[in-house]
């Protein structure tokens, strides 16, 4: 190794050491427990790394030093804060992820405020029956400003000076999955109203309590909020808006000590697709709002296949919600939570393809993965005519 290379590696080692030193200097303002933790995970690897540099030389020592730093960072990110008396508000706790999360956090000892659409419904009744006395049920339609304000008053009265540690914006609706051209504008508006505007309204209302506790804001978005997926134009657009809101709030709230995370789960069986009665209503609304020429081009059989697709969705979804619950818990308690979580099989791979590959490759990949069984009537006719020619 020539002198120049050795000098450059030496300065790189010094730079990394100084970075760790700045972290330790910043820790001087923290509590004694946090200081001790940082001393273990920052100072010890630094000293051992410098010892390796002295014993193995600049090149080999630097490799060992950087490896130890990465291990320290990884182990530090896995460290969780104690639950203690931390209070968390969860929206959409009637069913699905919100319902399971309310039970999960209650079992761990959190003070849970479970917001439900129907305080007398089966989901709320099950939470009353199975959870501890720490859990409080809140009548909370996040599209109702009056209910959001009433929930704020009840929560702030209970948490008083300690503040609210976490808000999990989980409530959401799917709408009727269909081609973007076919979906009525009411579906777009409903998705935005619940999945985006409702979450923003709730976040803005409860942020004073989060700032007081320097707590966490966790927004449950979707894989469809990070990548374009056919038949999810309304749902995906609303979740993408929520994901962007999460990113901006993560930057803006960092100065207050509030940490923000977005959760992008893959397909899980949560019941978000609704009931058979709801499907029939949405299907009727979709068909009635179609112009005659659009209905003619797509064909009745294509429209009927949309409902078949909706019925088959749960078959391809994972019934085990533990990856999502684990991701939300980490976002709530990790000393250094991630800005984005992608729990579930297949959630990360399409995102990587979308971000790092050409768009034509991503579109080809998605077309093969989510290829519809039927083709619009006009395209079938055109294809048949071209074959005859």
The answer to whether 235 is a known catalytic residue is: yes
Residue 237 parent element (H or E): helix 233-253
Instruction: Report the half-sphere exposure of 32 (CA within 13 A, side-chain side).
Output: 0
- Catalytic residue, from 235, 298, 302, 341: name it: 235
State the Cα–Cα distance between residues 58 and 69, nearest whole angstrom.
Answer: 16
Q: Which string of DSSP letters, residue by residue, matches 365-378?
A: HHHHHS--S---HH
Query: 347 and 267 in contact (C-beta within 8 Å)?
Result: no
- DSSP string across 9-69: HHHHHHHHHHHHHHHHHHGGGS-HHHHHHHIIIIIHHHHHHHHHHHHHHHHHHHHHHHHHH
The answer for residues whose C-beta is within 8 angstroms of residue 143's C-beta and 6 or more apart is 193, 194, 197, 198, 201
> CA-CA distance, 124 to 122, in Å (whole number)?
6
- Reading the block at residue 4, the tokens are 């120049």
Any idea which residues carry the catalytic annotation?
235
């Amino acid at each position: 190794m020539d002198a120049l290379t050795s000098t450059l590696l030496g300065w790189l080692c010094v730079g990394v050491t100084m970075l760790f030193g700045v972290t330790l200097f910043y820790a001087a303002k923290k509590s004694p427990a946090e200081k001790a933790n940082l001393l273990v995970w920052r100072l010890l690897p630094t000293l051992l790394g410098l010892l390796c540099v002295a014993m193995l030389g600049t090149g080999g020592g630097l490799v060992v030093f950087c490896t130890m730093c990465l291990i320290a960072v990884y182990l530090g990110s896995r460290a969780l804060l104690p639950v203690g008396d931390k209070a968390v508000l969860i929206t959409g706790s009637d069913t699905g992820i919100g319902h399971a999360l309310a039970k999960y956090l209650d079992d761990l000892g959190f003070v849970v405020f479970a917001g439900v659409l129907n305080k007398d419904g089966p989901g709320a009744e099950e939470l009353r029956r199975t959870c501890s006395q720490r859990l409080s049920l809140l009548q909370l339609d996040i599209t109702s400003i009056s209910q959001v304000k009433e929930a704020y008053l009840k929560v702030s009265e209970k948490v008083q000076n300690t503040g609210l540690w976490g808000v999990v914006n989980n409530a959401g609706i799917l709408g009727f999955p269909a081609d973007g051209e076919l979906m009525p504008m009411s579906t777009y508006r409903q998705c935005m109203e619940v999945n985006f505007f409702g979450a923003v309204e709730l976040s803005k209302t409860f942020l004073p309590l989060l700032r007081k506790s320097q707590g966490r804001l966790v927004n449950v978005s979707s894989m469809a909020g990070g990548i374009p997926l056919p038949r999810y134009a309304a749902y995906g657009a609303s979740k993408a808006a929520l994901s962007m809101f999460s990113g901006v709030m993560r930057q803006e709230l960092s100065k207050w000590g509030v940490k923000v995370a977005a959760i992008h789960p893959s397909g899980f069986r949560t019941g978000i697709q609704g009931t058979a009665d709801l499907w029939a209503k949405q299907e009727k609304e979709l068909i009635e709002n179609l112009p005659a020429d659009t209905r003619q081009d797509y064909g009745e059989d294509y429209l009927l296949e949309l409902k078949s697709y909706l019925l088959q969705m749960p078959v391809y979804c994972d019934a085990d919600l533990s990856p999502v619950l684990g991701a939300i818990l980490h976002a709530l308690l990790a000393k250094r939570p991630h800005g984005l979580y992608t729990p579930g099989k297949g959630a990360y791979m399409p995102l990587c393809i979308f971000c790092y590959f050409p768009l034509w490759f991503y579109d080809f990949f998605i077309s093969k993965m989510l290829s519809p069984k039927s083709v619009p009537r006009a395209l079938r006719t055109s294809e048949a005519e071209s074959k005859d020619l």
